Amino acid sequence: MNPFTERVMEIIQAIPQGKVMTYGQIAKEAGSPRGARQVVRILHTMSAKHNLPWHRVINIKGEIAIPDEETAYSQRTMLEAEGVFFRSNGLVDLKKSRHVPEINDVDLI
């Protein structure tokens, strides 16, 4: 497994309940600011095998970016159960729910 993939998985594992991070935010924290699509690929291929909290990752607009309606509904339900704030337009309120890693968060920085 390459270092970027390992780092992305560490970052995703460290997202606390009730918080979210964006694909781009994770890529930047992992050392590749333009690697958001790689984060998507890692989530798609590694979530089940490594028990990643995939539902805590959204796009920069605050949208659940999964085209499958059933899975998107499941993601929203899980986020709401954890206390993630949604605005009236259905987007995650990033001001209230975005996780900003600190130095102590599994050595993320």
Phi, psi dihedrals of residue 43, rounded to the nearest 5°: -60, -45
Residue 8 near residue 80, CB atoms below 8 Å: no
Longest dimension (CA), the chain: 41
Q: What is the DSSP letter of 77?
A: H
pTM for the structure as a whole: 0.89
| pLDDT tens-digit series, residues 27-64 | 999 999 999 999 999 999 999 999 999 999 999 999 99
| pLDDT tens-digit series, residues 78-99 | 999 999 999 999 999 999 999 9
Domains parsed from the chain with CATH numbers: 3-97 (1.10.10.10)
Query: What span, in angstroms and rounded, lies between the C-alpha atoms of 20 and 85?
Result: 10
108, pLDDT greater than 60: no
| pLDDT tens-digit series, residues 1-27 | 899 999 999 999 999 999 999 999 999
